[in-house]
Amino acid sequence: MWTFDAPPLEYWKGRYGFEPGKAWLEHVQLSNVRIPGCSASFVSDRGLVMTNHHCARACITAVSPRDTSYQEAGFVSRDEAGEKRCTASYADQLISMEDVTARVRSAVTAKVTAAQVAQRDKAIDEIQVSCQTATGLMCQVVTFYQGGKYSLYRYKRYTDVRLVMAPEEGTSFFGGDPDNFTYPRYDLDLTLLRVYDNGQPLKAEHYLRWNSNGAREGDLTFVVGNPGSTGRLLTMSQMEYLRDVQYPATLAGYKVQIALYKELAAQSEVNKRRYENTIFGLENSQKAVTGYNAGLIDAAIMARKAAFEKDFRSRIMAKPDLAAKYGQAWDNIAKAQKELGSFAVLQQFQGFGGGSNLLNLAAGLVRIPEQEKLADSLRLPQYRAQGMNRLKAQQTQAIPIDADVEKRLLAMQLTMAQKALPANDPFLAAALGGRSPEVAAEALVNGSKLGSVEARKALLDGGSAAVLASTDPLVALARKVNPLATKHAMRALKLNTAISANVELVGQAIYAAYGESMPPDATFTLRISDGVVQGFPYNGTVAPYRTTFYGFYARSAEFDDKPPFKLPPRWQAARGAVDMMTPMNFVLTADIIGGNSGSPVINRAGEVVGLIFDGNIESLPNRFIFTDEIARSVAVHTKGIVEALRKVYGAARLADEVETAGVKK
């Protein structure tokens, strides 16, 4: 994930014999745009912009007429006049970058951290404002290496963005949650937008030429876009904490929740529909965390990380000034992580989260008056400033509460606590009082009035006195548990603050030790990643470097055309018309992460050959350590896009536009 002001020219030359000129890089940079949360690119001289369907969801929904969901039915504008403006959308084109580290640093003269932070933020703000005033551009100072480097990024913002074409969600997200994060894959995760300028399609000076042959096996390719965030600079002790403490707890929680909701879903058709999304969501989170964790429990990957950290620390220790400044950071982090681990179980179970909504509401009622008495900086973070207002508002909103489900959730939470805590634990004593989790949950929920807005509002308005006087059994429980839970939360807060401060030092140290030979962690700013189009071993056999329309129709047929494998009507109708051999998706070894969605895949010539939309399940550990043995990025193939536009969506005008853009007529 290289920045455009520090492309790895030597590495590219050595590894691929690829030597792009300044013009190539500048053209590619200017052909890309950043949209909210995603990446995108110009693909015609009339301002046509390509991105993912899931990146344009807000726009697609906003422009749908009252009686039609374009999200579901798809949208194809027959002509430019029919293209629909997405009022809340914009697209930012990165015009230039400037290293402003010295300017930021020179503004920081204070010796106290809080004052230093204030000086730094003020300096950054001034740089941004003066840039904006001088240039009229959107200016942003980007913090790389947790403060190792500051760069001023200047963007031209386009605010007239219109929806041109979007397939049905059944096509863009074919295979739904099950196929999400996996490959082989068959998704046309595409939306075409158009940037207008002064009411006319933008005469884009820079746009990516379209290559309808698309990506072929073994091709060198580049992904250009805005990766959001990575954890590549986490230290070993942070990763071990995730592996040994946090992820096991998270996964255990998902497991019991999934089991519970599946049991509820099995009770009736109504429940099945009611909990379908909850189960899918939990299973997808489970899939993701299991994937992240896969790298952490892989001895070979962790050994690689350990070797890197050893080298890194020895570089720092070799220079006295660096050693003095950064040398202690790793041990400080490790110490704090260790202490966090020492009471993680207590923090998790002597508290309110992970189960019953009613118990959570009770906790809020107990805590709001208590926290309100404290100065903002002494409060639990979620009770500071606007947070307090949000929490109060929640208490007075009608929330659908199903008493039976609450009992199950509370019993689940108590059962887990019972397994994790010693028999004489004060939380268990307060919550169970010798009863089984099921009996206790039944009594607590039956006895509570907190399902009613009025009851909550009365307690909220009554403040401390009302809370203290309440005989509601959940409020009584929350009163007893609150001192314990708050003690753990404050202790964890202190430790995490210490970790953050030291993590900043590690980030700066990496820049000091390796300079730009080590790209900075992702910052949702423009990067370029190199990779090769290549299949990978999977499921005991091999996954192909690309899939085809044949495979798309196959996967639908093989699940009897049932959702989420149902073919939208347009594709049913086009069955005889499309060329089944057309490539649909393909995989490449380039490094991507959330935020890269919508990134173009380009070839040596800078032509677009694909559209990134996901990673395979084997790529999930890349959040922490990048490997490319079996991890792959997944993209839509340009040939598939053109075939679909022409044969399925009746959008030959758009296929013609991308294929002939820039070709002299």
Work out the burial of residue 540: count CB atoms within 10 Å of its CB; fewer than 13 is exposed, 13-18 middle, 19 or more buried: exposed
Binding flag, residue 172, its own copies (CB under 8 A): no
Give the CA-trace dihedral at 597, 602, 607, 611, to 10 degrees. -30
Please report how close the Cβ of residue 548 comes to its own copies at its closest, in angstroms.
Answer: 5
Binding flag, residue 170, its own copies (CB under 8 A): no
Q: In whole angstroms, how far apart are CA 399 and each of 152, 363, 387, 394? A: 45, 16, 19, 8
Residue 478 · residue 362 · CB < 8 Å = yes
Q: Which is nearer to its own copies, 217 or 276 (CB)?
A: 217
Q: Give the one residue of 551, 595, 600, 606 binding its own copies; rule: CB under 8 A.
A: 551
Of residues 595, 527, 660, the one with CA closest to residue 207: 660
CA count, 13 A, side-chain hemisphere, 156: 13
What 3-state DSSP class applies to 356?
Answer: coil
Please report how close the Cβ of residue 284 comes to its own copies at its closest, in angstroms.
Answer: 10
Candidates 4-12, 60-68, 414-422, 547-555; binding stretch for its own copies (CB under 8 A): 547-555
Strand partners, 201: 196
- Residues 33-92 touching its own copies, rule: CB under 8 A, are none
Q: Give the one residue of 207, 210, 241, 553 binding its own copies; rule: CB under 8 A.
A: 553
Who's near 35: CB < 8 A, 6+ residues apart? 49, 51, 55, 56, 89, 90, 91, 92, 161, 598
Q: Which helix (H) or strand (E) element contains residue 130?
A: helix 113-135
CA–CA dist 168, 187 (Å, integer): 11
CA–CA dist 624, 634 (Å, integer): 19
Location of structure tokens 């995760």 = 189
Q: Which is nearer to its own copies, 343 or 559 (CB)?
A: 559
Binding flag, residue 647, its own copies (CB under 8 A): no
How many C-beta neighbours within 10 Å does residue 378 have?
Answer: 11
Residue 644 · residue 167 · CB < 8 Å = yes
Q: Give the one residue of 111, 540, 563, 665 binding its own copies; rule: CB under 8 A.
A: 540
Distance, C-alpha 319 to centroid of its chain: 37
Q: Which is nearer to its own copies, 70 or 545 (CB)?
A: 545
Q: Which helix (H) or strand (E) element contains residue 612?
A: strand 608-615
Q: Give the one residue of 34, 546, 632, 639 binding its own copies; rule: CB under 8 A.
A: 546
Please report how close the Cβ of residue 550 comes to its own copies at its closest, in angstroms.
Answer: 4
Binding mask 284-323 for its own copies (x = CB under 8 A): ---x---x--------------------------------
Please report how close the Cβ of residue 533 comes to its own copies at its closest, in angstroms.
Answer: 12
Binding flag, residue 227, its own copies (CB under 8 A): no
Q: Which is nearer to its own copies, 407 or 637 (CB)?
A: 637
CA–CA dist 382, 344 (Å, integer): 19
Residue 41 · residue 32 · CB < 8 Å = yes
Binding flag, residue 577, its own copies (CB under 8 A): no
Q: Give the one residue of 557, 573, 577, 605 binding its own copies; rule: CB under 8 A.
A: 557
Tell me the number of residues near its own copies by CB under 8 A: 31
Binding flag, residue 247, its own copies (CB under 8 A): no
Binding flag, residue 541, its own copies (CB under 8 A): yes
Q: Which helix (H) or strand (E) element contains residue 531?
A: strand 527-532
Q: Which is nearer to its own copies, 81 or 300 (CB)?
A: 300
Candidates 440-448, 459-467, 536-544, 624-632; binding stretch for its own copies (CB under 8 A): 536-544
Q: Which is nearer to its own copies, 514 or 559 (CB)?
A: 559
- 291 φ/ψ sector (left φ>0, alpha ψ -120 to 50, else beta): alpha
- Residues 603-642 touching its own copies, rule: CB under 8 A, are 617
Tokens of 308: 């890197």
Please report how close the Cβ of residue 87 comes to its own copies at its closest, in angstroms.
Answer: 37
Please report how close the Cβ of residue 184 comes to its own copies at its closest, in angstroms.
Answer: 8
Please report how close the Cβ of residue 182 comes to its own copies at its closest, in angstroms.
Answer: 4
CA–CA dist 213, 583 (Å, integer): 9
Q: Which helix (H) or strand (E) element contains residue 166?
A: strand 160-166
Amino acid at site 81: A
CA–CA dist 596, 611 (Å, integer): 10
Please report how close the Cβ of residue 540 comes to its own copies at its closest, in angstroms.
Answer: 4
Q: Which is nearer to its own copies, 150 or 553 (CB)?
A: 553
Q: Which is nearer to its own copies, 117 or 557 (CB)?
A: 557
Please report how close the Cβ of residue 405 comes to its own copies at its closest, in angstroms.
Answer: 26
Q: Which is nearer to its own copies, 20 or 551 (CB)?
A: 551
Candidates 59-67, 171-179, 260-268, 443-451; binding stretch for its own copies (CB under 8 A): 171-179
Candidates 95-103, 142-150, 447-455, 546-554; binding stretch for its own copies (CB under 8 A): 546-554
Q: Which is nearer to its own copies, 147 or 178 (CB)?
A: 178
Amino acid at site 329: A
Q: Which is nearer to its own copies, 19 or 561 (CB)?
A: 561
Binding flag, residue 389, its own copies (CB under 8 A): no
Binding flag, residue 563, its own copies (CB under 8 A): no
Q: Which is nearer to its own copies, 394 or 572 (CB)?
A: 572
Q: Give the one residue of 397, 539, 663, 665 binding its own copies; rule: CB under 8 A.
A: 539
How many C-beta neighbours within 10 Å does residue 399 have?
Answer: 13
CA–CA dist 159, 196 (Å, integer): 8
Binding mask 180-219 for its own copies (x = CB under 8 A): -xx-x--------------------------------x--
Who's near 433: CB < 8 A, 6+ residues apart? 440
Tokens of 403: 């008493």
What 3-state DSSP class applies to 84?
Answer: strand
Q: Give the one residue of 19, 311, 558, 629 binding its own copies; rule: CB under 8 A.
A: 558
Q: Are strands 38-42 and 32-35 parallel, antiparallel or unpaired?
A: antiparallel
Per CB under 8 A, residues contacting its own copies are 175, 178-179, 181-182, 184, 217, 287, 291, 538-542, 544-548, 550-551, 553-555, 557-560, 580-581, 617
